[in-house]
Amino acid sequence: MKIQSNSEYCLGCGLCRIYCAAAHDGYNGSVIRAFKKGTPQARAGLIEHQQQSWINTCRHCQDAPCINACITGALQKNNEGIVFIDGQRCVGCLTCVMVCPFGHIQPSLDFSRAVKCDLCRDLAEAPVCVSHCPNGALRLIEEV
Amino acid sequence: MLRREGDIRIPSGCAIAAIMNRKGERFNGQQILASIAAMHQRSNGLGGGFAAYGIYPEYRDYFALHIFYDDDGARQICERYLQHHFRIKHQEPVPVRQSRRIAGAPLIWRYFARPREDKFYREHIGEEEFVARVVMTINADLRGAFVASSGKNMAAFKGVGYPEDIGEYYRIEEYQAYIWTAHGRFPTNTPGWWGGAHPFTLLDWSVVHNGEISSYSTNRRFLEMYGYKISLQTDTEVIAYAFDFLMRRQGLCLNDVVDVVASPFWSQLEEEKQARLRRKYSGLLLNGPFSIIVATNNGLVALNDRIKLRPLVAALQDEFLYVASEEAAIRVVAQRLDRVWSPGGGEPIVGLLHDKKGLLDVAPSAIQAAQSA
Amino acid sequence: MMAVFDAVEYNHHTLLEAMNQSPDEEIEVLNLNGQRYLGCGWKNHKSLILHGTVGNNLGAFCEGPTILLYGNGQEGVGNTMSAGEIIVHGRVGDIAGYSMRGGSLYIRDDAGYRLGIHMKAYQDKSPLIVVGGRSGAFLGEYMAGGTIIILGLNDPGFSPIGPYCGTGMYAGEIWLRGEVPSNHVADNIKAEVFQEKARLEVIMPHLQRFAACFGYDMSIILDKPFTRLTVVDKRIFSRLYTGFAG
Amino acid sequence: MSLSMLTPAFTVERNQDRCIGCGVCVKQCGNSVHHKDEDGFMWVIDKNCVGCHRCAVLCPTQALAIKEFPAALRPNSYWSTSSLREIYAQAETGGVLLTGMGNPRPFRSYFDHLLLNASQVTNPSIDPLREPMELGTYLGSQVSSLGEREKPLLKLDMPIMFSAMSYGAVSLNVQKSLARAAREKGTFWNTGEGGLHSDLQEYAASTIVQVASGRFGVNPDYLNQAAAVEIKIGQGAKPGIGGHLPGEKVSADVARTRMIPAWSDAISPAPHHDVYSIEDLAQLIETLKVATNFEKPISVKVAAVHNISAIASGMVRAGADIVAIDGFRGATGAAPMRIRDNIGIPIEIAIAQVDQRMRDEGIRDQASLVAAGGIRNSADVVKILALGADAVYIGTAALIALGCHLCHTCFTGRCNWGIATTEAQLSKRLNPELGAVRAANLLQAWEHEIKEMMGGMGINAVDSLRGNRLMLKGIGLEQHELDLLGITAAGY
């Protein structure tokens, strides 16, 4: 599974990143609380180039270099194919940040750990970036 | 002040019945009287009536005009109008039997007449169209006069009261007919006007009807486009005109008329012709609950709306065809029946005289469908 | 193969039907008088040879056919035509070439009012009208592309165009043989008089085609200077409006 | 002129307790209302705001409120604020006031003075969820006798079509959305006068193509691939005047579809120059019938004007198979404001009068009647059908379903909702996949509601609703208005 971005309909508004940031780090999607009280960090990037824009987020690679490189086994793939970080095990060595060929994994703002897209695996619904895209430019697709 | 039928639309509920001898052998009105009386609870004493076919053999070539008058003045005005348009062979008051239970009866006269040729030739119309126009003009424009029936060798006997009392009043047991239809009415208010009772007629057509047609205004405005003057504001009137329009003026066969007034749903259409009929005459789809018996001088058709919101039962015994709102109304006059059945929505029951098939041009499939139903 | 129809033997609709159903590439129709919609909506390369006075909308909405008319046309000749050629050995009525998008229209004699109104060019298509005689008023009104040439060959004493020529025009060219009264030409039009033949290069093929169609000698056509009318400001109404959200 | 006396129409209030400075508003506003400095300071230019609500809708914290600008002029019930603003604008520019969408003035809406009937006791109401309920409608002429070949008809699964809105006036994504929704719901969309884009040819069977005075994109293929051809004589928002698509909106793609050069103005003359009279209309109708081999119904669309019943009668006699009438609430991408707000009559009265006139003349079967201009909801549809229309066109309602917030500035071409624009960056804001779903949802919702209302009346086919004026009663109307509508007052 991964997020597919259709640049034909991506407006570059950035709402995907805002809702992404609010969905994680304990604010359960409340944008105001996340941004006014916390230090929100989006798990996806937005690339804009010549009036085109698209989301840059984890591809959840089949043979993921980040999993192979992780020194503590914090990076794992679940049975749905989602590549995620087990926060208990991550020691913040940031090896994964260096090996990701797409530059998707980021250090947390305090550099204590790595953060990445986990396709909102804790939520019952679609990832928040998909459900909040105002123009249907993002889709969750099965293939890798 | 209470407004009279025609000034206001009065929905009603009803009972209907018909008895027909398919050989054309005549019988008196006692059976139909018993049949409609058996459904006393379906009416409320504010309307009853009968249509009888074959009752005037001595005047079979004359239009039998039965006319209600509010008073003698109205009669004189109307008779001058009739003299102007018809040559009248014979005229007389319709014989009645006075009864405590019948009040407020109008003057009721009958005329056996033929149109003056110079009149309808001048307008380049046929005899029947001429009579239809005269009847509609009297009903719409001559205050105090109302044509209760205008066909040949037939008449409508109707008024305010329970149908059994109306039958007694008109002495219908003294008439011999091969088709009898009857109606008991339950109108929703009480102006009590004799013209508003059923059957409603035009030329040889008579209609008795149970139910209210929700498409009334659509049907009415469609017919008005073709010159029909709708004076009564009752569903029954537009049904009679619809049959007259489709069969006499448009030349459709009965089968096709049924496909117009009780058209199958689009999803149930079996042939393109039905779709064509529905598109062309969509304004005559009778929508809403009804069971009707439409009679003419060579037969009758009984029909339910297409989703069958009203009851209707038919029965056959030898040459007799019985139709009624309730089976009990048939059993009361014929204990032994060859066959009893309830037709589905939009399935006509057709009864035709054996020797007069040509007149009411029914497609053979309709007869088969009715007989095998 | 050529099919020949005698219009007298048909009514209006049966003639159109017979012509439409004819498989022949060339169709000749005799004794026409007022039959409308001939060649209307045709999308083909058939040839139509017509004799008589044809009814309105000859070749309307057509795309491709060649129509040769020996006689006069009425209103709407070549109305909204997209491609093809109509050659009229006679005169035509009003609004010939209305909204024409392509193809050409050669008229030997006069044309009526509003000739070539709302003509427009599109991609490789550029409609053309050549009139041997004069045209009525409002020539090239709303014109948005293409070429109209008026030769004024039949009435040497009169102006080849009526008043209000080129009103609301915003593209295309109108060429007139001779010089024209300035009060006949709309405000927004620039008139240039070309004496030298070299300047006529762009319209020369059209003039030659006209001469060949109707048997004119080129020297007669070229015995006067030509005036070219073009638009000064393509957006004359751009300041007419003021936006207001109401 | 240096000083503008116009105060802003709207003011944008930003709730700082809610604003997170994300800048979505800045990116979404095509009118440069919202700004964000490098240091994160956010500020607005109120006078640029048209009240389209794009920013407020997309703001993730609902921090934005768009309000009427509070600098109220001295109250004056005759010289309203808008009267003054209009004069200031004209004094500054010398221009004709140009505006968009439909007439917003507080004229009486007859729809709002009509009440529907329902069955009680004397006949049963019908439950549309469980019993059959037919909304299928055929549009066209029904005069051919049963022995002849039937005239061409349009089959609608429900009596609602999408109004003509041309590519150029609206974005291609609007047309894609409506075309898909129309095909899915068994109805039709209308190209408007701007031609049929190549991407939309797959929807040709659900398409009514227009022939207007500009004849844009009209050629034999255009006419023959459509389900029906509509001659556009007039439009409810601007009866009697033509159209003018400014060159800025004529992008290469629009130009290709209209078959004109790019970036040139696209002018639709006020009249069709081959229709100066009713017999000319007959000629154009027949020309189009000949050009389409008598296989397409020909519709003629006119604006509802004072003598509409005589005009409609003439149109029917001229051979129109469908008469489409656009009431004075009909919308437009651009119209002179004085024209839009002062010309024409309500569609309710026009339909009532035309339907009755056609019946009086015995020609109601010769053509179908389509009502357009201000149909806001399913009850309006039911009411106009009961007054006599066979079907309706919806335009404004369809655009609102796609996101239009009725800011009335379509003429700028900078529609923030991606609707009335041909700019690629703006039109991409309407994803036609989502648009098609929204438009189809609207049709589906109205379809259910119409069935509910018909079921309540005890009617199970739209055939029996058409012209069924007994199902309508007037409330708060004068006798002459009731007479014009051919109905009686509530309680009568």
Q: Do A135 and D424 touch (CB under 8 A)?
A: no
Question: Structure tokens of B178?
Answer: 């091969």
Closest CA to B157 of B149, B16, B60: B149
Interface contacts (A, D; CB < 8 Å)? 49
> Which residues 6+ apart lie within 8 Å of D36 measured at CB?
D21, D23, D26, D42
Which residue in D119, D464, D465, D470 has the most chain B C-beta atoms within 10 A of its own C-beta, making it the best mutation to test that interface?
D464
At what angle are helices B127-141 and B72-85 packed, to 10 degrees?
160
Please name the chains neighbouring B, where neighbouring means 3+ C-beta pairs under 8 angstroms: D
pLDDT band at D262 (very low <50, low <70, confident <90, very high): confident
Sequential DSSP letters for B32-56: HHHHHHTTGGG--SS-EEEEEES--
**Positive or negative: CA dihedral C154, C157, C163, C168:** positive
Q: Is B266 on the interface with D (CB under 8 A)?
A: yes
CA D192/CA D70 separation, integer angstroms: 39
Q: Do D428 and A9 touch (CB under 8 A)?
A: yes
Residue B355 has pLDDT above 80, yes or no: no
CA C154/CA C222 separation, integer angstroms: 14
pLDDT at B4: 64
pLDDT band at D70 (very low <50, low <70, confident <90, very high): confident
| Domain covering D10-95 in this structure, CATH number | 3.30.70.20
Same fold, D10-95 and D110-489: no
pLDDT at B365: 36
Residue D353 has pLDDT above 60, yes or no: yes
Longest distance between any two alpha carbons in chain D, whole Å: 81
Residue D269 has pLDDT above 60, yes or no: yes
Which of B186 and A71 is assigned the larger pLDDT? A71
Task: Give the start-to-end residue ranges of the domains of chain D.
Answer: 10-95, 110-489
Min Cα distance A48 → chain D (Å) is 12
pLDDT at B96: 96
Closest CA to B302 of B206, B230, B215: B206
Q: Is D27 on the interface with A (CB under 8 A)?
A: yes
Alpha helix segments (H runs only) across chain B: 30-37, 72-85, 117-122, 127-141, 163-170, 216-225, 235-243, 254-261, 272-280, 327-331, 364-372
Residue-wise pLDDT for D380-430, tens only, equals 999 999 999 999 999 999 999 999 999 999 999 999 999 999 999 999 999
Residue-wise pLDDT for B225-244, tens only, equals 999 998 877 888 899 999 99
| Domain covering B12-372 in this structure, CATH number | 3.60.20.10
pLDDT at B182: 97
Q: Is D15 on the interface with A (CB under 8 A)?
A: no
The residue of chain C nearest to residue D212, with distances taken between CA atoms, is C99
CA A102/CA A83 separation, integer angstroms: 14
CA B298/CA B178 separation, integer angstroms: 9
Task: Give the start-to-end residue ranges of the domains of chain B.
Answer: 12-372
Q: For residue B13, list chain D residues with Cβ-Cβ distance below 8 A.
A: 122
CB A15 within 8 A of CB D23: no
pLDDT at D5: 86
Q: Could you tell me the mean pLDDT of each successive run of 10 residues in chain C, 246 residues long?
A: 92 92 95 95 96 96 96 96 97 96 96 95 93 94 94 83 91 92 88 90 96 95 94 81 81
Mean pLDDT of B26-49: 93
> Which residues 6+ apart lie within 8 Å of B180 measured at CB?
B18, B19, B20, B29, B31, B32, B50, B51, B52, B53
CA B234/CA B222 separation, integer angstroms: 15
pLDDT at A125: 82
C64 secondary structure, DSSP code: E
Residue-wise pLDDT for D443-486, tens only, equals 999 999 999 999 999 999 999 999 999 999 999 999 999 999 99
CB D345 within 8 A of CB D107: no
Closest CA to C4 of C64, C40, C49, C39: C49
Q: Do B218 and D466 touch (CB under 8 A)?
A: yes
Q: Estimate the share of chain D in helix, then strand, then coil, as percent rounded to the nearest 5.
A: 35, 15, 45
The residue whose two tokens read 């100066």 is D276
The residue of chain B nearest to residue D464, with distances taken between CA atoms, is B215
Of D126, D136, D464, the CB nearest to B215: D464
- CA angle B107-B133-B250, nearest 5°? 130
CB C56 within 8 A of CB C95: no
Q: Do A11 and D60 touch (CB under 8 A)?
A: no
Interface contacts (B, D; CB < 8 Å)? 96
Q: Is A143 on the interface with D (CB under 8 A)?
A: no
Residue-wise pLDDT for B143-182, tens only, equals 999 999 999 999 999 999 999 999 999 999 999 999 999 9
Report percent pLDDT > 90 for chain A.
70
CA B367/CA B360 separation, integer angstroms: 12
pLDDT at A24: 87
Q: Give the count of alpha carbons within 13 A of D456, CB side only.
A: 13
The residue whose two tokens read 């099965």 is A142
Which of B361 and B293 is assigned the larger pLDDT? B293
CA A2/CA A82 separation, integer angstroms: 8
D160 secondary structure, DSSP code: E
Residue B124 has pLDDT above 80, yes or no: no
Min Cα distance D303 → chain B (Å) is 25
- What is the ipTM metric for this complex? 0.87
Question: Structure tokens of C82?
Answer: 């997209």
Residue B369 has pLDDT above 50, yes or no: no
Supply φ then ψ for residue D184, to 5 degrees: -65, -40
Bridge partners of residue D98, in order along the sequence: C243, D336
Q: Do B225 and D131 touch (CB under 8 A)?
A: no
Residue B133 has pLDDT above 90, yes or no: yes
CB D245 within 8 A of CB D308: no
Beta strands at B299-304 and B313-317: parallel, antiparallel or unpaired: unpaired
Sequential DSSP letters for B105-133: --EEEEEEEEE-HHHHHHTT--HHHHHHH
pLDDT band at A25 (very low <50, low <70, confident <90, very high): confident
Interface contacts (C, D; CB < 8 Å)? 154
Q: Do A135 and D22 touch (CB under 8 A)?
A: no
pLDDT band at B195 (very low <50, low <70, confident <90, very high): confident
CA B317/CA B325 separation, integer angstroms: 18
> Which residues 6+ apart lie within 8 Å of B337 measured at CB?
B315, B316, B317, B322, B330, B331
Residue-wise pLDDT for D171-183, tens only, equals 999 999 999 999 9
The mean pLDDT of chain B is 89
Question: From the candidates B14, B16, B242, B366, which is the catalytic residue?
Answer: B14
User: Residues 2-61, chain B: which have Cβ within 8 Å of D?
Assistant: 9, 11-13
**Positive or negative: CA dihedral D350, D352, D357, D358:** positive
Instruction: Convert B311-350 to b/e letters by CB count within 10 Å (16 or more is b).
Output: bbbbbbbeebbbbbbbbebbbbbbeebeeebebebbbbbb
pLDDT at B366: 39
Residue-wise pLDDT for A46-98, tens only, equals 998 888 899 989 999 989 999 999 999 999 999 889 999 998 999 999 999 99
CATH architecture of C95-233: 3 Solenoid (2.160)
Of A9, A13, A31, the CB nearest to D431: A9
The mean pLDDT of chain A is 91
Which residue in D116, D119, D121, D122 has the most chain B C-beta atoms within 10 A of its own C-beta, making it the best mutation to test that interface?
D122
CA B66/CA B111 separation, integer angstroms: 7
Question: Structure tokens of D146?
Answer: 């049963």
Measured CA distances, B54 to B23, B36, B177, B197, B243 (Å): 12, 20, 5, 21, 21
CA C230/CA B167 separation, integer angstroms: 93
CATH architecture of D110-489: Alpha-Beta Barrel (3.20)
Domains along chain A with CATH numbers: 1-57+120-139 (3.30.70), 59-116 (3.30.70.20)
Min Cα distance C56 → chain D (Å) is 8
Q: Is A51 on the interface with D (CB under 8 A)?
A: yes
pLDDT band at B359 (very low <50, low <70, confident <90, very high): very low
pLDDT at B1: 42
Which of B369 and D172 is assigned the larger pLDDT? D172
pLDDT at C236: 75
Task: Give the start-to-end residue ranges of the domains of chain C.
Answer: 1-90, 95-233
pLDDT at B370: 42
Sequential DSSP letters for D402-433: TT----S-GGGS--TTSSS---HHHHTTS-HH
The mean pLDDT of chain D is 95
Q: Do D98 and C61 touch (CB under 8 A)?
A: no
> Which residues 6+ apart lie within 8 Å of A133 measured at CB?
A15, A16
CA D160/CA D188 separation, integer angstroms: 8
Residue-wise pLDDT for D309-344, tens only, equals 999 999 999 999 999 999 999 999 999 999 999 999
Is B14 considered catalytic here? yes
CA C101/CA C95 separation, integer angstroms: 14
pLDDT at D261: 86
